[in-house]
Amino acid sequence: MTTTEQTSKDLSAGAGAAGQYLIGGELPVHRMGFGAMRLPAAHWDGPAHDPDRSIAVLRRAVELGVNHIDTASFYFYEDIAANDLIRKALHPYPDDLVIATKVGPGRFPDGSWTDPADPAELRAAVHRNLRELGRDHLDLVYLRFLRTDGPGEDRFATLAALRDEGLIRHLGVSSATPEQFAEAQEIAPVAAVQNRYSPLTREHAELVGLCAARDIAYVPYFPFGGAGAPELTALRRVADRHGATPAQVTLAWLLAVSPTMLTIPGTSSPAHLEENVAAAGLRLDDVDLAELTELTELTEHATPTGRA
């Protein structure tokens, strides 16, 4: 399901240089996307980012060819919310823009987290996303699990019913165990899995492989490990060989790991946005990939700063 124009390296390329993937076999996105979690603030507890700068970042992302934006109603800090920023920046939306969101836990206005949503709350969360984004349907909705969650059949069935009602186009699971993923697939087609994955955190390698084998999108969160671009010797060495940055090598590595991998690096920085999107044009060779494989030993040691 991928179509990739393989140039050796073109760091001035837009998001389209990463190639295209069809979510659920029919919804095209460029494999280089954008994550909106960092737009309201650097972390859950701030500091806030300038909303005008975040709006400019969103508009520039689309100009650069990004057509897959990942968000959630619970991405907010005080009165700055990712969904509001997306609507202000981009509505009326380009026809090809795919906006993915997630439901499951919620957050109270003071920022504290609610318990996992029950089916009625999930319905309300989907309607809230529709309202906030100003859309009549949602392209991709993930059921987002918490570490303490058990099976999610009744909740995934609720989302499947909303899909049948035409409010959701495709379903996904996020922060899911292989068991929760398998249970969801028994209920309705899972078009995407959004779990953590980066050169530093590869504990979900099995799911990455499963998704590749079944042509399901794998959308890694915390692509940089959750704590800013990693500064590791191997990443720096490969980056220097290509005239690239460690952040760009990280993103190119993710795109090389699996043909169904879609990256959604998050930033509120215009310069980081340009840098990240340019990684769509970076192709790593076998020597690079072998060198980066050695990072496996480090995978247990990442210390993300966001909520996983």
Rule CB under 6 A: say whether 288 interacts with ligand NAP.
Answer: no
Q: Which two tokens stand for residue 304?
A: 């993300």
111 to 150: interface string for ligand NAP, x by CB under 6 A = ---------------------------------x------
Determine what percent of the chain falls in helix, strand and coil, rounding each to the nearest 5: 40, 20, 40
| CB nearer to ligand NAP: pick between 42 and 205 | 42
CB 243 within 8 A of CB 231: no
From the list 16-24, 90-98, 202-210, 218-226, the region that binds ligand NAP by CB under 6 A is 218-226
| CB nearer to ligand NAP: pick between 38 and 163 | 38
Choice from 194, 201, 258, 260 touching ligand NAP (CB under 6 A): 194
Please enumerate in sequence order all residues whose Cβ is within 8 A of that of 250, keeping only pairs 6 or more positions apart, or say none. 198, 199, 223, 224, 229, 230, 235, 279
Choice from 29, 224, 235, 249 touching ligand NAP (CB under 6 A): 224
Choice from 35, 51, 106, 116 touching ligand NAP (CB under 6 A): 35
The strand order across the sheet containing 20-23 reads 2-3, 20-23, 27-30
CB 159 within 8 A of CB 143: yes
Cβ at position 43, least distance to ligand NAP in Å:
8
Rule CB under 6 A: say whether 93 interacts with ligand NAP.
Answer: no
| Residue 283 region by backbone torsions, left for phi larger than 0, else alpha for psi between -120 and 50, else beta | beta
Rule CB under 6 A: say whether 269 interacts with ligand NAP.
Answer: yes
CB 94 within 8 A of CB 67: yes
Cβ at position 220, least distance to ligand NAP in Å:
8
Please enumerate in sequence order all residues whose Cβ is within 8 A of that of 31, keeping only pairs 6 or more positions apart, or say none. 2, 4, 18, 19, 20, 21, 255, 261, 262, 263, 280
Rule CB under 6 A: say whether 225 interacts with ligand NAP.
Answer: yes
Rule CB under 6 A: say whether 267 interacts with ligand NAP.
Answer: yes
Cβ at position 273, least distance to ligand NAP in Å:
8
| CB nearer to ligand NAP: pick between 122 and 290 | 122
From the list 115-123, 146-154, 216-224, 282-290, the region that binds ligand NAP by CB under 6 A is 216-224
- 308 to 44, 73, 222, 261: CA distances (angstroms): 12, 16, 8, 19
Q: Is 142 among the catalytic positions?
A: no
Alpha-carbon gap, residue 32 to 256, rounded angstroms: 12
| Residue 23 region by backbone torsions, left for phi larger than 0, else alpha for psi between -120 and 50, else beta | beta
Choice from 44, 64, 70, 143 touching ligand NAP (CB under 6 A): 70
Name the site residues for ligand NAP (rule: CB under 6 A): 35-38, 70, 102, 144, 174-175, 194, 221-226, 228-229, 247, 264-269, 272, 275-276, 306
